Structure 1
Amino acid sequence: MTALVFLDPSHPAGRVADAASPQLSVLDQGVTRGDGVFESALYTGGVVRKLEAHLARMAVSAASCDLSMPSAEAWRAAIATAVAAYDAARPSSGPGAAAGTAGDTHEAVVKLVATRGLESAGHGTSWVAVSPASELGRRQRTAGVAVVLLDRGYDSTVAERAPWLLMGAKTLSYAVNMAALRHARRNGADDVIFVSSDGRVLEGPTSTVLLAVRDGDTKRLITPMLETGILPGTTQGAIFAAAEAAGWELGYGPLVPQHLMEADAVWLVSSVRLLAPVNSLDGIDIARDARLHEELTAMVDAIR
């Protein structure tokens, strides 16, 4: 089941559409060229988590692509319409937990998409789709993932040298990311961490890399540097804010694969799967600190 709402100036709260029927022109440049941007947020307990962070990052991505997009206010209105339609179409997730209420444990993905639209139209196409979250993602929060390291084919300074590559923007051009995941699965792994051609740790195809190091009573979280051209992680940012408030130290690379091997714990972090511990890298088991994972999971569960 998917609830679909298009952003339409003639419908201030968004235009509800049938997701099971054709809605998008095959000539839309989001389809023909992958020319557009998107965000995916987690909806659970009646809340679209980190909504403002997602809207802010989407605006930055759109600006990087010179893409005109609806206002944040229009997105909020369409999102409210979409989640209300989604909740109305599904049963509650348990006794005393009505759909869309604080006690509702059901998880859904709220996907925001903005394309350049038809070449002749002079305006883009934007919509919100709400659909159930993957059961696999929930399992990986506890079971963890086996990861392979893959060369991204760029060095770590390309973002500054070649801004037209749109490194750090969340665009619809995800064919390479999906190919990397298929390659990993063909080789017995679950996920990927990209490494630059000069040996720097970057990010996953759909996630941010996060590692933790213990030094006595000191706990430190580290993530790759944004200057390497990675996407700024909204969940990573929220975890860093919570960890800093809890007395953890924070760090931003530069990281190389050996840092991952030597860490006390490594995670792939994303908005919908949340915190997935890494069990192995290139077939080699790495440390997985259960206590650190429990602490960070509590921080993630508190994010709104």
Structure 2
Amino acid sequence: MKATIKDVAREAKVSTATVSFVVNGIDKVKKNTKERVLLAIQKLNYVPDQAARTMIKKKTRTVGLIVPLLTNEYWAELAEQIQEELILRGYTLMICTAGMKSAELTINSLLERNVDGVILGGRIVSDPDDHYIQMFMDRRIPLVSIAPIHKDVTSVWGDNLNSSREVVEHLIQQGHTKIAYIGSMSTGIGRELGYRNALAIAEIPVDEALVRNGKSEEVHNFSQYGYQTMKQLVANKCEFTALFGANDLIAIGAIKALQESGLRVPHDVAVAGFDDIAMAALYSPAITTVKQPIGEMAGSVVAALIEQIEQPDGLSITRKITFPMTVVVRESSISPKGG
């Protein structure tokens, strides 16, 4: 026979209200009492009736997450961290990817499922997203974005501009003055601006022939994009001795193209990426990159969204939360001694 909330309350020797607080993640229960309730839930294999809770509270306790793609390990890891944070608070995550062709269908799918809130993983498409954001705002659905995309949406993001400047400054300190940049609209303007700022500070002119920025809808596979773009730079006989790839997958693809062209990394061309995905440390050569505080960012995103969901009067208050990042120096950018 299925256990009820009364059974859990009886087993834990507490009220049904206390069990409800624990189940719903409401921080009103003492630690030892909470532990007793959780043990009772586990012992009785109690599963809350989500359908009934939805009907009573008009809440689905479901959050939508829209990301550009999941083939990039960064988004996959961030989604996993966000899901863990939400589960601890009694919410379920619905993950969607959205490009130019599927953006409206994705948003309508979330609206039809009456999600309590939405996390936007950066821009949904290359063009301004005001139309898509307005679809949620018209329904007064709480929104938080990972990257600043709209003045009326709370955003949490890493300091892309300054961390990009720092990693390019590292390349300059290694003696490089001809530094290429490969990015895309979906990696954000901050990383390109950081690249340009580093060159400006060092009084190095920007060679626009070395700057490549693909549109989001044109970049379906970052490593392939990095590979093909680097092939073009080499074929065009562009002169450069270093590359800053706007994410690690771009850098990995570029290194493959350089190696196929007979160029050694870092002997002939130094390379740096961004995000510090697991593959960056395992690749040969190990890739210099920028480490994002994914766990802290995920926690901040979820906290900001839950605050809006549970305190709807605060929907009009927006915040911009920025996290510092760390440059991780590895083999791909260090000038080897002895050539």
Return the TM-score normalized by structure 2: 0.22
Specify which structure has the higher proportion of strand. Answer: 1
Return the TM-score normalized by structure 1: 0.24
